[in-house]
Amino acid sequence: MIAVDTNLLIYSTWNTSSFHEQASEVVKTLVLGSKRWSIPWPCLHEFISISTHPKVFKTPAKLEDTFTALEQWIDSPSCITIGEGYEHFACLKQIATKGKLAGPMIHDARIAAICLQHQVSELWTVDRDFSRFPSLRTRNPLVEN
């Protein structure tokens, strides 16, 4: 199962992004496909926060529109949301300590720990910071492999 990071969700909804068309196609393929995919809960929360933030976008999304987008993804029969489980703290502690992380990098560690707990085979992201977690395989689906 793959997981999708916040940046792909943002790019897929904001048509001002140079990545919009590619990201929109990637997400659409997942939503309409039959292959199991996931969105970590922190990414859903971050999507709401970023999309509606007036300092990020000149014209931020309306909260209702943001929830509509989320519902379209979550309601896909092949999508599941994933979150912290009973072993989350131990996994988070291990990867954060090993990576000598601090500050905002803990957010990415949280997402990485959730993915590892749920045996995500690959996190689709445009964020290179996830390379700090060698135990989590990542891929940028907007770049040809």
Task: Grade residue 145 by pLDDT with cuts at 50, 70 and 90.
Answer: low
- Residue 22 burial by Cβ neighbours in a 10 Å radius (0-12, 13-18, 19+): middle
87-113 pLDDT per residue, tens: 999 999 999 999 999 999 999 999 999
CATH class assigned to 2-139: alpha beta
Q: Decide if 54 contacts 103 (C-beta within 8 A).
A: no
Domain positions in the chain are 2-139
C-alpha dihedral, 101 to 102 to 105 to 106, nearest 10°: 90
